[in-house]
Structure 1
Amino acid sequence: MKKNPSIRFNGFTDTWEQRKLSEISESYSGGTPSVSNRSYYGGSIPFIRSGEITSKNTELYITEEGLNSSSAKLVEEGDILYALYGATSGEVGISQINGAINQAILAIKPKIEYDSNFIMQWLRRQKNSIISTYLQGGQGNLSGAIVKDLTLAVPIENEEQTKIGTFFKHLDDTIALHQRQLDNFKELKKAMLQKMFPQNGEKVPEVRFEGFTEGWEQRKLGEWIVPYAEKTNRNNQYPVLTSSRRGIFLQTDYYNGNQIASEDNTGYNIVPRGYFTYRHMSDDEIFKFNINDIVDYGIVSTLYPVFTTKQGLDSDFLQYQLNNGGEFRSYATLQKQGGSRTYMYLSKLENLKLTIPELQEQIKISNFFNQLDQSINLHQQKVNDYQQIKKAMLQKMFV
């Protein structure tokens, strides 16, 4: 077994030692006050459950009487909390608050010469191994005895543990920062989609850009779009595209190098750059309209109609309105006629009545949401990048 990690901080050369978790920490689980006794709940003590091990808030609070009349145990901010039961089995974090725990959590208090963040990150690194070893098919519960008996390699010097623990804490904090910013931008987009498109039969939205006062005009979508019916006349004439709820992709990228289209895709619909396509059937009344912005020409199955917009209708504005607006959602619900599947043939889509502003207001709105999407994508990419860095460093900085 390898005795030292492949990456270490400068100045540390001593061989790491094998220790059982029980040798380097004290640990215990808690309990749950009787739910039938109301006097045990509604107090001032946060009652931490397994889904809240890294939260600053808890759903439940217990009283001193509830604590003293049960096996619930107190923990302090900075203690390691390890989830033993259910869907969160194997999750681990540092407690953000003082509170009490139930039987589904193991509190771990490292001895003074051992670093909490180092041990927590090692447990997080080992989660999949622990689950696959001790839980059949990932189902069931872990026990405190199992966790206490785990063996880990630790640096002899506390300073090296602390440096490693601090390094990963900074990574976690950076990931959390970008995740918060990502969530904020997503919430902003969700709110503004409600406010910048007319709702419930209104002729104008709640929020508009300065300088626009005219009412929006309701017309059938068929007056604004042009169906496109060109098809391939030979196999693999253009790259095969996948139009999904996550967007539009080259099919080989979407399916990790595989192409699942028919062996002979002669007769597929051609999608020029800037044109719309969508799957004309849905099992949950949700449709996703995508614009080909990745290749000059792509192809899709004949189950995916293709169209473009006429002058006077901004494509990006229409995409936001179809994918997020209430008018299309209501219309899609009306198209369901028995069974579980809803069909939205292009001929049906053309009969959809949409409320649309003048072109300059359309462009202002679509630019606003494009900028929001760019910010969302930026922070999502940063979250992904830092998570990949952390994953790699967990493998290289631990034994």
Structure 2
Amino acid sequence: MTKNAPELRFKGFTDDWELRKLGEVSDIIAGGDIDSSILKETGAFPVIANAITDDGIVGYYDSKFRVIAPAVTVVGRGVGVGRAQVRYKSFTPVIRLLSVKAKKHDAKFLESIINEYKIIMESTGVPQLTVPQLKQYRLYLTSLAEETQIGNFFTCFDNILALHQRKLDLLNQLKQAYLQKMFPKNGEKVPEIRFADFDEKWEQRKLAGLADFSKGNGYTKNDLTEIGNPIILYGRLYTKYQTIINNVDSFAIEKDNSVISKGNEVIVPASGETSKDISRASVIGKPGIIIGGDLNIIRPKKFIDSVFLALTISNGTQQKEMTKRAQGKSVVHLHNSDLKQVNLLYPELEEQKQIGFFFKQFDNIVDIQQNLITQLNILKSAFLKKMFI
């Protein structure tokens, strides 16, 4: 194998790949202004900008387009600069979105190789990429036949990923629907959906009489180490929220006066950027985990299930009440004194446990699906590295 060929190839292809400038093998243009006089919410030809949501589509023209599909768009400015996406419907690029129309090369192949090389243009201000810069970009290309096979392979792979992502999205939507129906709505004393044999009204009491309260102690990101005692910092509840935390991937050397979990504590952030950020709770499922500062700790009494408590104060009327009690401007705070005043609706312990177990099982299914998507992305990255130079 020569240095100008990838490590992994389809059968029948042996020729070296050729290093070419992108401007030599494609027509590249930048998007202009939106023609608002003919822009519609639906139509035949998408109008695409440097946006992340909705695939960048900002509207449609009925009878007008600038680029014939298939072609590749490349984000030219801001978040995601240099990110390529193949387009299979003729379109009009706007607001500095770059368009790459290959002359004799496969569009999906170009999308994959541009994203694999991760074009990054340095800038003193907002990151940006211009047409002249993109034209000078050099990449290894092969025959159209080989590119087409590679492009088809990654199209199939992306379709599989999209299907699994859609399944994950539907699971999360279904969970939210269950959360809305398995806890009482505002002003109600019973939920819409209940397990069999439970028909009593839920009780309402202030959280102060249902649990003991304390706080975590010390520790910041600067205290984290590669090995040591497992630790939870308040940022974990924003970046990797879970109803039940059993596995922790951050560690620290234990200090004096550290607060160590005994298991089944409910933790709530004491500060955050918005009231919604801190109006969520998790259960620490295992003992022996350091609980960092800026975390409120709730230890429920015997007749309150920890998982049920975390679920109910993270959703519905209890969450709205927590949100109202959070105070601050640039930084929002939520103290134990605020949590104690939350009015909690709860059924008998056995029903609480069944609700908690139901959502534990549901979260396990969601985690399996998320892990599958993670593994598929790792596999795709491995193929990209071996199938391109």
Query: TM-score normalized by structure 1?
Result: 0.78
Give the whole-Å Cα distance in 2 for the aligned partners of 1:227 and 1:209.
Answer: 31
Task: Select which of 129, 147, 169 maps to 1:183.
Answer: 169
What residue number does 2:316 align with? 325
Aligned to 1:92: 84
SS in 2 for 1:119: helix
The verdict on how the C-alpha distance between 1:339 and 1:153 changes in structure 2, with shifts beyond 3 A counting, is closer
Q: Which residue of 1 aligns with 2:220?
A: none
Q: Which residue of 2 aligns with 1:368?
A: 358
Q: CA deviation at 1:122?
A: 0.7
Q: Once the 2 structures are TM-superposed, how far is the Cα of residue 332 of structure 1 from its aligned partner?
A: 5.1
Matched to 2:167, the amino acid is: Q
Counterparts in 2 of 1:328 and 1:41: CA distance versus 1, 3 Å: closer
CA contact (8 A) 1:327 1:353 kept: yes
Kindly indicate whether the alpha-carbon contact (under 8 Å) linking 2:261 and 2:290 is maintained by their aligned counterparts in 1: yes
1:27–1:350 CA distance, 2 compared to 1 (3 A): closer
Native 8 Å contact 1:27 1:108 kept in 2: yes
Q: Tell me, what secondary structure is at the counterpart of 2:99?
A: strand
Q: Secondary structure at the match of 1:218?
A: strand
Change (3 A) 1:339 1:120: closer
In the TM superposition, residue 356 of structure 1 has moved relative to its aligned partner by: 0.7
CA separation of 1:272/1:123 partners in 2, compared to 1, >3 Å: closer, same or farther? Answer: same
Tell me which residue corresponds to 1:3: 4
Distance (Å, rounded) in 1 between the aligned partners of 2:309 and 2:382: 42
| Partner-residue secondary structure (3-state), 1:387 | helix
Counterpart pick for 1:75 among 68, 73, 77: 68
Paired with 1:277 and 1:103, the residues of 2 have a C-alpha distance of 45
Contact 1:53 1:81 survives alignment (8 Å): no
Counterpart amino acid of residue 309 in structure 1: P
1:311 matched to 2:312? The reply is: no
User: In the TM superposition, what is the alpha-carbon distance from 1:5 to its structure 2 partner?
Assistant: 1.8
| Contact 1:221 1:354 (C-alpha < 8 Å) held by counterparts | yes
Match of 2:136 in 1: 149
- 1:52 Cα offset (Å): 6.4
Q: What does residue 48 of structure 1 align with?
A: 47
The letter for the 2-side match of 1:292 is I
Change (3 A) 1:227 1:57: closer
Length, aligned pairs only: 368
Q: How does 1:7-156 map to 2 (within 5 A)?
A: 7-35=8-36, 38=37, 40-42=38-40, 44-51=43-50, 58-64=57-63, 67=64, 73-76=66-69, 78-102=70-94, 104-112=96-104, 114-127=105-118, 130-131=119-120, 134-136=121-123, 139-155=126-142
Counterpart amino acid of residue 291 in structure 2: V
Q: The residue matched to 2:261 in structure 1 has which SS?
A: strand
C-alpha distance in structure 2 between counterparts of 1:107 and 1:352, whole Å: 54
Partner AA of 2:265 in structure 1: Y
Alpha carbons 2:216, 2:293 under 8 Å: kept: no
Structure 1 counterpart SS, 2:128: coil
Select the residue among 294, 300, 306 that pairs with 2:291. Answer: 300
Are the structure 2 counterparts of residues 122 and 207 from structure 1 closer, same or farther at C-alpha, using a change threshold of 3 Å? same
Distance 1:55 1:325, change over 3 A: closer
Q: AA paired with 1:356?
A: Y
Deviation at 1:355, TM superposition (A): 0.7
CA contact (8 A) 2:67 2:92 kept: yes
The CA distance in 2 between the partners of 1:147 and 1:302, in whole Å, is 47
Mean Cα displacement is larger for which, 115-124 or 266-275? 266-275
Q: Is the 8 A contact 1:29 1:107 kept in 2?
A: yes
Q: 1:174: Cα distance to partner?
A: 2.0
> Is the 1:55–1:95 contact (alpha carbons within 8 Å) kept by the matching residues of 2?
no
Deviates more, 1:164-173 or 1:82-91: 82-91
| Aligned-CA RMSD value | 3.5
Mark the CA change 1:143 to 1:222 in structure 2 (over 3 Å): closer, same or farther.
closer
Per-residue deviation, 1:354: 0.6
Task: Answer whether contact 2:49 2:56 (CA < 8 A) is retained.
Answer: no
- Encode CA deviations 1:27-50: one digit per residue, 9 max, x unaligned: 444533543xx3x33383433213
SS in 2 for 1:87: coil
Query: For residue 187 of structure 1, what is the amino acid of its counterpart?
Result: Q
The aligned amino acid for 1:224 is L
Say whether the 8 Å CA contact 2:215–2:294 is kept in structure 1: no
Query: Would you say 1:220 and 2:212 are equivalent positions?
Result: no
In structure 2, the gaps of 5 or more residues are 218-227
Residues 12 and 370 of structure 1, relative CA distance in 2, 3 Å threshold: same
Identify if the C-alpha distance between structure 1 residues 311 and 374 changes in structure 2 by more than 3 Å, giving closer, same or farther: same
**Structure 1 CA distance for aligned equivalents of residues 293 and 71 of structure 2:** 58
2: distance between equivalents of 1:61 and 1:284?
Answer: 35
Does the 8 A contact of 2:216 with 2:292 survive in 1?
Answer: no
- Structure 1: distance between partners of 2:330 and 2:97: 46
Q: Distance in 2 between matches of 1:217 and 1:312?
A: 12
Do the aligned residues in 2 keep the contact of 1:94 with 1:120 (CA within 8 Å)? yes
- Aligned partners of 1:172 and 1:268: how far apart in 2? 46
Change (3 A) 1:162 1:328: closer
Change over 3 Å in CA distance of 1:367–1:108 after alignment to 2:
same
